[in-house]
């Protein structure tokens, strides 16, 4: 007898080669996006994460210390200023942002959000995106949003209006001012193509010796134009957290040449509200003085 190995009678198992996967490994995760949104403007990126200096005088004193005013070093300058908070604009909202900053001096306890301001301005037909090319509309909007009265000067910053504006600031009231904004945010002359709004809350003046008495109360001091050698304005606008100090004459000249709407904006496919007569009618030579209704308005000195 003999035994048969049954496994030897089975057909051989076919060869099965080892197959290596050809599917590539998943790619590494993408790097995290930058903290600044790519659509943000440069001024928004610079302001992100920063805070404005708080207080009436400290920041302004730093400006005066870091900047030589003319060649009149060593002379005593008269400083007037009421602090206003900073606010960075998002899009063409410079006028509304300036109004909201100025609102702090009209009613510091009234919290009006920028969204509320835009919504009301759109509802009234003053704007589409937040742009304000009419000082008259700005006056109406300010009087509806804040307990204030607006006084619109339409003949620029020269002559008797200079004294009116300085007296207004001395009494602690804000001024809304359209001008052409240069790349460093200072006044320039671009024919209105870079029209912008600023909130002015104070200024510096160099009086003739013996003409003005700093100990006088603001309401009694007056500031007749022939008593001042040189004047600068202290302003904030929606593209910087910091105060800026501008020569009065440069602001005057910039405000007086706002003649036409920027041709690039006119053809960019975006809707804007521009008054009849254009930028020249709506902004040129216009200065808006705002006074709280709770306070008496001083007589305008001319």
Q: 46 CB contacts (<8 Å, ≥6 apart)?
A: 240
140 domain residue, yes or no: yes
26 domain residue, yes or no: no
166 domain residue, yes or no: yes
Please state the domain count of the chain.
1
pLDDT at 301: 43
Say if residues 109 and 88 touch (Cβ distance below 8 Å): no
Q: 269 CB contacts (<8 Å, ≥6 apart)?
A: none
76 domain residue, yes or no: no
48 domain residue, yes or no: no
246 domain residue, yes or no: yes
Burial of 71-86, coded b for 16+ CB within 10 Å and e otherwise, reads eeeeeeebbbbebbeb
* Sequential pLDDT tens for the chain (302 residues): 555 555 555 566 665 655 555 566 666 655 444 443 445 555 455 445 555 445 556 787 778 777 655 556 667 778 889 999 999 999 999 999 999 999 999 999 998 999 999 999 999 999 999 999 999 999 999 999 999 999 999 999 999 999 999 999 999 999 999 999 999 999 999 999 999 999 999 998 877 555 555 445 544 445 555 566 789 999 999 999 999 999 999 999 999 999 999 999 999 889 999 999 999 999 999 999 999 997 554 444 43
- CATH number of the domain encompassing residue 228: 3.90.70.10
Query: What is the Cα–Cα distance from 139 to 149, expressed in whole angstroms?
Result: 8
Global confidence as pTM? 0.77
172 domain residue, yes or no: yes
- Catalytic site residue 148? no
Strand ranges in the chain using DSSP code E only, listed in sequence order: 78-81, 148-153, 175-181, 187-188, 195-207, 228-236, 244-247, 287-292
67 domain residue, yes or no: no
Q: 4 CB contacts (<8 Å, ≥6 apart)?
A: none
pLDDT at 73: 64
* Full residue range of the structural domain in which residue 261 is found: 81-292
E strand or H helix at 142: helix 135-145
Query: What is the Cα–Cα distance from 13 to 47, expressed in whole angstroms?
Result: 75
């Amino acid at each position: 007898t003999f035994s048969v190995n049954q496994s030897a009678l089975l057909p051989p198992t076919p060869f099965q080669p080892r197959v290596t996967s050809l599917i590539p490994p998943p790619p590494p995760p993408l790097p995290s996006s930058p903290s600044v949104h790519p659509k943000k403007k440069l001024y928004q990126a610079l302001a992100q994460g920063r805070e404005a200096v708080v207080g009436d005088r400290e920041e302004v004193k730093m400006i005066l210390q870091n900047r030589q005013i003319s060649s009149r070093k060593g002379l005593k300058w008269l400083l007037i200023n009421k602090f206003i908070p900073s606010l960075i604009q998002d899009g063409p909202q410079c006028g509304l942002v300036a109004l909201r900053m100025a609102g702090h001096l009209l009613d510091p306890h009234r919290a009006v959000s920028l969204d509320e301001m835009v919504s009301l301005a759109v509802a009234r037909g003053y704007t589409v995106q937040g742009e304000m090319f009419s000082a008259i509309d700005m006056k109406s909007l300010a009087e509806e949003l804040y307990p204030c009265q607006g006084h619109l000067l339409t003949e620029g910053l020269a002559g008797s209006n200079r004294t009116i504006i300085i007296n207004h600031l001395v009494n602690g009231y804000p001024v809304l001012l359209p001008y052409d904004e240069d790349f460093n945010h200072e006044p320039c002359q671009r024919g209105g193509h870079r029209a912008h709004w600023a909130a002015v809350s104070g200024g510096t003046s160099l009086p003739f010796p013996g003409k003005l008495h700093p100990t006088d109360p603001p309401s009694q001091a007056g500031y007749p134009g022939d008593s001042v050698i040189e004047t600068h304005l202290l302003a904030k606008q929606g593209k910087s957290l910091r105060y800026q100090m501008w020569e009065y004459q440069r602001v005057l000249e910039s405000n007086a040449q706002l003649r036409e709407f920027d041709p690039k904006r006119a053809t960019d496919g975006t809707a804007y509200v521009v008054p009849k007569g254009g930028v020249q009618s709506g902004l040129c030579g216009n200065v808006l003085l705002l006074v709280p209704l709770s306070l008496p308005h001083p007589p305008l000195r001319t």
